[in-house]
Amino acid sequence: MAKILVVDDSETVRHRLVLDLQAAGHEVIEAEDGVKGLQTLNSNQDTNIVISDINMPEMDGITMCSKINENERFKDIHLFVLTTEFDSDLKTKGKKAGVKLWITKPVKMAKLTAVIQKVLER
């Protein structure tokens, strides 16, 4: 059972993730871009995991993760990103920003929930 923040500008993707994660027993909050993501995180500091898309308006996912990673208060939050291809530049940036897990779309919920479980257990 974790508190998860889902950040994606596509409503369909976001809602699907939210519902599936809730069905798996987690508490889920959402935001539609990087800026709102940070705001939501500030008011929900007990969040454990952030799952974020990369390409979003206002602020992209990697930048958002980077800002979260810099903040002392949020250093224990696990950062997951949703990606569609392989891009070594992106990977390097992501690594620096503290991204822990790269999830390629389309997401298979069964696997995601299993991995979330493992991350929480560590």
Partner 1 sequence: MMGKQVEEERLIFRWFKRVGRKKISMQYHIDRKEFSTTTVESSLEVIPIKNPVINIDQQSHTNDKGNKNRFEVSRSDHKTDLEIGVNDSSDPPVLYSPETVIDSIEGVGNRDILKELQPIVPVYWNIPMPDLLEVFKQYPQYTFFPVVDDLMHPQGIIREQKLKKFVYSRFGAALLENPDLKDKLTDFIEPCTIVGVDDKSEEILKTYSESGTTEGIIVTADSKYLGVISLRSLVKMGHDRELNLQESHNRILEQRNKDINHILRNMKQGIFTIQEDGTVHHDYSVHLETLLETNEIEGRHYVDLLFQNANLEKDKLSQTRSVIENSMGEDVLTFEVNSHLLIEEYRICFSGERTKHIELFWNPVVDEDDIIRRFIVNIRDKTEIVTLQNNAFQQQKEFKIITQVLSITRDRFEEFIKSSNEYVESCIALLDENSFFEMSVIDHIFRNLHTIKGNSRLYGFDDLTNSVHDVEESVNQVRSRNAAYDSRELKSEILKVDSMLKEYIMVTEKKLSSFQGTKQKGVFLDNQLYSALTNTLMSEKLHNLPDSIQTIIKSKKILNALNTASLEDLFSDVGASLKSMAEIVGKPKPNLFITSNNIRIIEKISSILNVIIMHSIRNSLVHGIEDPQMRRALGKPAEGNIHLFATLTDDQFRVEYWDDGTGLDLKKIMSKALDSGLVKLNKPLHDRQIAQFIFCPGLSTTNDITEMAGRGVGMDAILKAIKSVEGSMDIIFLDKKDDSSSKRPFKFVLNFPGEYAQLLS
Site mask for partner 1 (CB under 8 A), range 74-93, x = bound: ---------xxxx-x--x--
Residues touching partner 1, count (CB under 8 A): 21
Residue 13 within binding range of partner 1, rule CB under 8 A: no
φ, ψ at 27 (rounded to 5°): -90, 125
**Residues numbered 17-36 forming contacts with partner 1, rule: CB under 8 A:** none
Q: Given the rule CB under 8 A, which residues bind partner 1? A: 83-86, 88, 91, 95, 100-104, 106-108, 111-112, 114-115, 118-119
